[in-house]
Amino acid sequence: MEPTASLDTRCYQAALYLCPPAFRREFSQEIVRVFQEARCDTQRANPRGGLCAFWARMIADLAVTVVRQWLRTAWPFVVVISAVYPLMAASAIAKFWRRAPAVLPLVSADADVILLALLAAVVIVVIAATIIFTLWFMRPLLYRRRI
């Protein structure tokens, strides 16, 4: 990008950071060049109201591009699995907890401490399992060859 780029070109280039890094590295210079050319053509053709319509088209196109490129990376699948897994684990632990035959003493002064320790243990197990589960599904994404 040349130093005399317009404000809207710099904003568009900054908005390209919403795209995945590999896509951005490969195509951002060309996308910005095409954007600048289209902006100049639009401004020459319709100097008064053309830029508003142009920006509306560019924002819609950028939104579609960002979604499409992130879906191609398979990261949304990993994020959904990583979000669903702790919810399922917490639900299973809660069901087991309701059926558990052991009952904490309600009168004991240590009941709150024991309950807090059990809750902390459950949270740590769910977080650790989530991290392991996420890394397991991300392995193909992390170790694939870059072209």
Q: What does the pLDDT look like over 23-53, one tens digit per residue?
A: 999 999 999 999 999 989 988 888 777 788 8
Q: How far is CA 117 from CA 108, 113, 114, 123, in A?
A: 15, 6, 5, 10
19 with 66: CB under 8 angstroms?
yes
Percent of the chain whose pLDDT exceeds 90: 18
Give 104's pLDDT tier (boundaries 50, 70, 90): low
Location of structure tokens 């994404």: 141
Which pTM value belongs to this model?
0.55
Is 90 exceeded by the pLDDT of residue 77? no
- What residue ranges do the domains of the chain occupy? 7-73, 75-142
Give 1's pLDDT tier (boundaries 50, 70, 90): very low
b/e 8-42 (16+ beta carbons within 10 angstroms → b) = ebeebbeebeebeeebbeeebeebbeebbeebeeb
